[in-house]
Structure 1
Amino acid sequence: MSQTHRVRFDPVDIEIEANEDETVLDAAFRQGVMPLHGCKEGQCSSCKSFLLDGDLQMDRYSTFALADYESDEGYVLLCRAHAYSDLDIELINYDEDMIRAGLPVVTVPTRVEAMEQLTHDITLLRLVVEGPDAFRFHPGQYLDITIPGSDEHRSFSMANLPQGQDGKLEFLIKRYPGGKFSGLLEEGLSVGDALTTTGPYGTFTLRAGSDRRVVFIGGGAGMAPILSVLRQIAAKGDFDREVVFYYGARTPDDLFLLDEIRDIGVRIPNFRFVPCLSDSDEANWKEIGFDGAIGMVTDIVDDRESKLSEADVYMCGPPPMIDAGLEMLVARSVPQEQIFYDKFTVSAQAD
């Protein structure tokens, strides 16, 4: 029988209980505590922490996330760690407000309400939560959708705002050839089908206590959590910080939801949207309706943003974009506590 142990997180002075058959990260989620995390699969290092005291065992993980010498020194991954005694753990990267504002992770049944093709490879999927239990989340968070007929899941960010009891969940999903879930959006998934979802996860949420300007960097289906946060800002009506959204796409045909972004710009007083096209020599910006740029989105941000170190930077997109963005932000001396992103591994993000 699995035993239960106390886990204390320093320096935030938070205690949880963890069963031996669950990871420390899952135990925290279950109790509404939200440490920084990413893939939840031992591949991204977002939840890397330091074991001060106690006995734990680790599931298999990538040495890219936790090098052998780090493990020897006492570093651990919360998403792989199982407590076998009371533990004292020092969080390395943390946002105390986010940790305490976490919502308990729950599993809820949903059904497919609608699917709409937005571009040649992006689909809008709308789910409705079934049953009496509401699904709560913060704008910018994500959940796991179980692939029908398997124990595997894929992680997708909500694009909509929490809407009380109506139970609607919207996702912008990139379809991959042969994708185990995204492939079902073309053949295999229909309106009315049942899906099991678990969440919310993620710390890609607006830091309302900051007075810094906000820079969003997105690409592909990474539009989803940024759109959710932008909808939150627009709904506030009194947001007085500058907001700029750089969105990377390949060609004009890969841009979508421009009408809504234009409407958001009307409701956020100091807002700019900059589409960035990587596979186009030129573009008719007048026809598109925005003043954009040609090139890789992270290069354009680096070129145009002279005071990045004074901004809160939010990134969501494919792993190569995140890696390039992080390298650029480090080179520009942006403090780590001002950088927010959910780095999904390929297997966790897509297929």
Structure 2
Amino acid sequence: MSHKIFIIVLWISCLYSSSILSKDFDSTHELPKVREPDKHRIYFRRNEGYGGINFPVMDYLRYENFNSILVQGYDTNTAIRAFAKNDGYNAISVQHELEYRYMDKFRVFYETRSLVNLKAGKNDQRNLQFKEDYVSLGVAYFHPLSPNFNIGFSLRQVDIEQNTKNNYLLFDLFPPLIGPRNREFSMNVRGTVPGIHIEIKPLRWFEIHIGKQFYNLSGNDTRSTIDIVLVNDRNTNLLFGYFDFSKGLVSYTGEKTTLDFVFRFSSWFATRWGYTIERYNVKYKKYLLYVDDDIPSTMVYSALESSQKQRMEFGSMNITFEFSKSFDE
């Protein structure tokens, strides 16, 4: 908890320092209060974020234990895992953006983001490794209602790929067994994402940007588990293998809300300090889970999993470094 407080204090301190520095820089130049739009301008941005995350596999593993109790009956170890309280994960993101603007109204942009989780703690037994790759290509139109206020609408073609690995060692004393378990969860969704945005420019060197995007994507989801277990039975070592595979269609719906404070140090350099909240629901459709030649269990598990929703949530503090160049005729 202390490291989170430290990061928040550091973020606020840097935000305050940016306002002072950008204001001081602007005061040394006799410039108009409102920045005039360029005919052509290109922007490059690098965004880094840090915050708490809940990714879909975390919910899936929790539901998995409840499903096992429903299908196979009560088991003490399964019940302990089902009701155990685990620490949440934090994550870091790195995003790059390339944008072209014409008269600051018409905009075309390309965005890529990589998002990965950090280890929850020394006692975390889940050993989950999550990674998301995000790519979007979009256009936007911003209409100036006044020199200090813009309202905009955007449309993105988005492709999201999520991959989670869960590799660990199986071990038990009764009966004595040991062996690796390798699990992999993959999801790929795509679609069109509309958005609405507001830009407030009270000062030449300071702006406030607010945006909301609406996601309704669809795609595919696959999961696989491979166990290789060595069992000792009456001084005889027996090697067993287990495999299950599931695949289906998935929907990915939700919203992304952004708030940024922009400090312009010059015509070509600015920083953004902001906060982003992403909340999505993952719903499975037409799902088939293959469970090691067990047809009845396959049908029951498939029905249970197709009825359950999972969450993808990420709330992050962000800093963005922005470089731009105008090409006025």
Which structure is higher in strand share?
A: 2
**Could you say which TM-score interval applies, normalised by the shorter chain?**
under 0.3
TM-score by length of 1: 0.21
TM-score w.r.t. the length of structure 2 is: 0.22
Q: Which has the larger radius of gyration?
A: 2
The structure with higher relative contact order (CA 8 Å, sep 6+) is 2
> Would you tell me which structure has more helix in proportion to its own residues?
1
